[in-house]
């Protein structure tokens, strides 16, 4: 999958053009292209192969040629040229949240900073304050930003990991010597972030697999090239390990390398009690060393007198006890989802018209979709004035008549203001079918204030869903400090759902908090927060979180059919 690589080039180009104070429309075109390529559900290399690059929204002749060049050569001349015009390291500075081209330039020009290392040192030594044009708090913010980036860059998002591994898995599957090919590790457990990629292959010719693997397109460095085990670093700096295992040990290896380690440790205890031992080769009788299982994953669990446990649950968070009592949850599946209740259109900061969204949702087989644009206060994201939002509701009415077979819900993602009140007046609120509410500003308030703000919003009795409740944003923002217990109690009392936001950099609530919400008697809604119709497919990531949170169909609002949903919305 070259999508991330291509998007990365364009992202850097946009940054470089911004530093060079180039034409804003050009910069915007690159930014749009990045967004569109990142959320493309197809492999850009395949799209190029059939000559359809220009059908990608935002990709014209010029960008299509650049994509073709990247695919062919792994490089881009235009990028190299731009890079030479900008002091080295400035792009690196801009990876810190809050440092844009202007600040990067100031840091370079006034303090000679041209790498993250230097930036960190100078921030620690308080040598940044006092630069004209930078606020006093910048130094503190930079230090915090560096910590955040360090913490997050060690792990990629689940989406990045799946995209990357898909390329390797499909490449390996094409090899004549390959049997089964599967990505294990945290990726298979659908953890929200993933450190490295662990792939298992069965084959009678392990060397052929190894030799082909280390030469695959995304490989930058070969760390190890053995007869059954190799490891590489990709161009994006991610480690990928491939192990070839014997077909008769495949199940045992899969359990072992899927992990988690804590799950494996617990399983070994269970085995011991049964006079067995488990390792990556199989399950063995402890006394005689006779192999009793190994080929299929289900056999391993069966030998331990357990039903097979879904990978998403393998964290040693009670799944082994539940399995032994026959009480594993019947996990929600993407196919249970009947609609998406948080989607942005062109009316605020989305890319598509309401009609395009309606048609895309219908094509996905949804029963309903809610168009939830931003409210007035959120100016940076095109928040709608009360007057404009009424026009939008009229437009929804028109599209309803035009696109049959899907129910369009007139919605809003309304700002919860600093004092906990909602961003439209009552008579406007009355016009919506669904109200999703969120905090988009004032994150730095105290834990008590933030909690009270959300609770107050729920207590208006108007809010159906609190979206991205903790505000976390991978690489940019830690979750804000909330008294979640209080929020769960208020949500239960006011019958407000909490969202699992499926956007790959959010996944908020996370697995642990979603499970706690369920246990506190709160219903969840899994929504994509799409700003582009391709992103409707992000539902998969939200459902992955829901599965890791032990959620069943009944725990999630948007698994309900339309009439059930409407009953809930009338509350």
Judged by the rule CB under 5 A, the positions of this chain that interact with Ca ion are: 185-186, 196, 198
Q: How far is the CB of 431 from ligand DGT (least distance, A)?
A: 46
- For ligand DGT, the closer of residues 250 and 488 by Cβ is 250
Stretch of 58-66, 184-192, 226-234, 495-503 contacting ligand DGT, by CB under 6 A:
184-192
Stretch 128-167: interaction string toward ligand DGT, x if CB under 6 A: ----------------------------------------
Angle (deg, nearest 10), helices 484-494 and 447-459: 0
What is the three-class DSSP state of 327? coil
Residues 190-209 that bind ligand DGT (CB under 6 A): 191, 194-196, 198
> Which range, of 174-182, 260-268, 319-327, 417-425, touches ligand DGT by CB under 6 A?
260-268
**Considering beta carbons, is residue 81 or 154 the nearer one to ligand DGT?**
154
In whole angstroms, what is the distance from residue 250 CA to residue 180 CA? 9
| Interatomic CA distance for residues 254 and 299, integer angstroms | 12
On whether the CB atoms of residues 135 and 149 are closer than 8 A, the answer is no
Residue 405 token pair: 């077979």
Residue nearest to Ca ion (CB): 185
- Whether the CB-CB separation of 342 and 436 falls below 8 Å is answered with yes
Residue 350 binding target from ligand DGT, Ca ion, none, CB below 5 to 8 Å by type: none
CA R_g for the chain: 25
Q: Which of residues 493-532 bind ligand DGT (CB under 6 A)?
A: none
**Neighbouring C-alpha atoms within 13 Å toward the C-beta of 128:** 26
The interface partner of residue 451, options being Ca ion, ligand DGT, none and the CB cut-off 5 to 8 Å by kind, is: none
Stretch (H or E) spanning 321: helix 319-324
Closer to Ca ion by Cβ: residue 11 or 198: 198
* Angle (CA) 400 404 405, round 5°: 120
Binding flag, residue 553, ligand DGT (CB under 6 A): no
Binding mask 357-396 for ligand DGT (x = CB under 6 A): ----------------------------------------
Given Ca ion, ligand DGT, none, residue 257, with its beta carbon under 5 to 8 Å by kind, binds ligand DGT
Number of residues that bind ligand DGT (CB under 6 A): 14
**Cβ–Cβ under 8 Å, residues 342 and 315:** no
Give the three-class secondary structure for 524.
strand
CA–CA dist 18, 486 (Å, integer): 44
Looking at the chain, how many residues does it have?
571
95 binds, among ligand DGT, Ca ion, none (CB under 5 to 8 A by kind): none
**Site for ligand DGT contains 254 (CB under 6 A):** no
Helix (H) or strand (E) holding 245: strand 239-245
Instruction: Return the one option of Ca ion, ligand DGT, none that residue 260 interacts with (CB less than 5 to 8 A, by type).
Output: ligand DGT
Cβ at position 194, least distance to Ca ion in Å: 6
Least gap, CB of 114 to ligand DGT (angstroms): 32
Q: Which of 3, 157, 186, 530 binds ligand DGT (CB under 6 A)?
A: 186
Q: Min. distance of Cβ 191 from Ca ion in angstroms?
A: 9
Pairwise CA distance, residues 366 & 410, whole Å? 16
In the list Ca ion, ligand DGT, none, the entry touching 456 (Cβ below 5 to 8 angstroms by class) is none
Instruction: Give the strand order in the sheet containing 276-279.
Output: 276-279, 282-285, 291-293
d(Cα 85, Cα 78) in Å, to the nearest integer?
A: 11
Across 169-273, the runs of DSSP E, i.e. the strands, are 178-183, 193-194, 197-203, 219-225, 229-234, 239-245
Q: What is the DSSP letter of 473?
A: B
By a kind-dependent CB cut-off of 5 to 8 A, residue 259 interacts, out of ligand DGT, Ca ion, none, with ligand DGT
Q: What do you get for the CA distance between the two ends of the chain, in Å?
A: 45
Is 261 one of the binding residues for ligand DGT (CB under 6 A)?
yes
CB atoms within 10 A of CB 170: 12
What is the distance between the alpha carbons of residues 332 and 468, in angstroms, rounded to a whole number?
Answer: 20
Least separation, in Å, of the C-beta of 46 and ligand DGT?
Answer: 28
Name 202's bridge partners: 245
CB nearer to ligand DGT: give 261 or 493. Answer: 261
Q: Which of 251, 259, 282, 310 binds ligand DGT (CB under 6 A)?
A: 259
* Helix (H), strand (E) at residue 407: strand 407-415
The least distance separating Ca ion from the CB of residue 159, rounded to whole angstroms, comes to 16
Angstrom distances, CA of residue 257 to CA of 198, 250, 314, 408, 519: 7, 10, 11, 44, 30
Half-sphere exposure (Cβ direction) of 194: Cα atoms closer than 13 Å: 27
Tell me the closest approach of the beta carbon of residue 130 to ligand DGT, in angstroms. 41
Distance in Å, CB of 34 to Ca ion, minimum: 27
Which is closer to ligand DGT, CB of 256 or CB of 301? 256
- Rule CB under 6 A: is residue 251 a binding residue for ligand DGT? no
- Rule CB under 6 A: choose which of 257, 284, 301, 366 binds ligand DGT: 257
Which residue has its beta carbon closest to ligand DGT? 259
Does 185 contact ligand DGT by CB under 6 A? yes
- Name which of 198 and 433 has its Cβ closer to Ca ion: 198
55 burial via Cβ count (<10 Å: 0-12, 13-18, 19+) = exposed
Judged by the rule CB under 6 A, the positions of this chain that interact with ligand DGT are 185-186, 191, 194-196, 198, 256-257, 259-261, 264-265
């Amino acid at each position: 999958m070259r999508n991330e690589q291509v998007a990365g080039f364009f992202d850097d180009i946009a940054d470089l053009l911004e530093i060079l104070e180039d034409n804003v429309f050009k910069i915007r075109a690159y930014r749009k292209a990045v967004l569109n390529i990142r959320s493309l559900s197809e492999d850009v290399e395949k799209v190029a192969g059939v000559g359809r690059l220009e059908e990608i929204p935002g990709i014209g002749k010029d960008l299509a040629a650049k994509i073709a060049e990247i695919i062919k050569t792994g490089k881009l001349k235009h990028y190299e040229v731009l890079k030479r015009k900008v002091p080295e390291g400035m792009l690196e500075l801009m990876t810190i949240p809050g440092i844009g081209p202007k600040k990067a330039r100031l840091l370079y020009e006034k303090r000679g900073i041209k790498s993250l290392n230097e930036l960190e040192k100078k921030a620690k030594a308080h040598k940044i304050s006092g630069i004209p044009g930078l606020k006093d708090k910048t130094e503190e913010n930079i230090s915090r930003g560096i910590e955040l980036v360090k913490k997050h860059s060690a792990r990629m998002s689940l989406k990045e990991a799946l995209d990357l591994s898909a390329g390797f898995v499909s490449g390996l599957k094409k090899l004549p010597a390959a049997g089964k090919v599967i990505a294990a590790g945290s990726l298979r457990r659908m953890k929200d972030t993933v450190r490295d990629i662990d792939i298992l292959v069965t084959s009678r010719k392990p060397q052929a697999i190894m030799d082909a693997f280390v030469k695959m397109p995304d490989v930058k460095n070969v760390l190890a090239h053995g007869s059954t085990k190799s490891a590489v670093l990709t161009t994006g700096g991610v480690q990928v390990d491939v192990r070839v295992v014997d077909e008769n040990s495949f199940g045992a290896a899969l359990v072992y390398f899927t992990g988690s380690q804590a799950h494996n440790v617990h399983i070994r205890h269970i085995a011991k009690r049964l006079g067995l031992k488990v390792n990556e080769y199989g399950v063995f009788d402890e006394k005689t060393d006779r192999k009793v299982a190994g080929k299929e994953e289900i056999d391993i669990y069966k030998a331990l007198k357990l039903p097979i446990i879904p990978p998403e649950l393998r964290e040693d968070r009670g799944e082994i006890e539940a399995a032994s009592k026959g009480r594993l949850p019947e996990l929600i599946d993407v196919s249970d989802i009947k609609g998406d209740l948080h989607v942005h259109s062109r009316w605020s900061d989305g890319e598509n018209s309401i009609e395009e969204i309606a048609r895309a949702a219908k094509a996905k087989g949804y029963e309903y979709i809610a168009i939830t644009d931003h409210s007035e206060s959120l100016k940076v994201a095109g928040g709608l004035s009360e007057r404009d939002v009424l026009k939008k509701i009229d437009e929804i009415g028109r599209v309803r008549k035009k696109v049959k077979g899907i129910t369009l819900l007139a919605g809003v993602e309304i700002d919860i203001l600093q004092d906990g009140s909602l961003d439209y007046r009552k008579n406007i609120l009355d016009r919506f079918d669904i109200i999703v509410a969120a905090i988009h500003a004032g994150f730095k308030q105290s834990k008590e204030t933030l909690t009270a703000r959300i609770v107050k919003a729920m207590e208006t009795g108007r809010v159906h869903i609190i979206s991205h409740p903790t505000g976390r944003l991978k690489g940019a923002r830690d979750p804000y400090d909330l008294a979640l217990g209080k929020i769960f109690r208020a949500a239960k009392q006011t019958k407000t759902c909490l969202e699992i936001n499926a956007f790959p950099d959010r996944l908020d609530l996370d697995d642990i908090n979603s499970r706690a919400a369920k246990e506190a008697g709160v219903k969840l809604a899994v929504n994509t927060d799409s700003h582009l119709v391709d992103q409707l497919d992000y539902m998969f990531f939200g459902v992955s979180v829901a599965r890791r949170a032990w959620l069943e169909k009944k725990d999630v609002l948007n698994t309900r059919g339309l009439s059930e949903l409407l009953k809930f919305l009338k509350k």
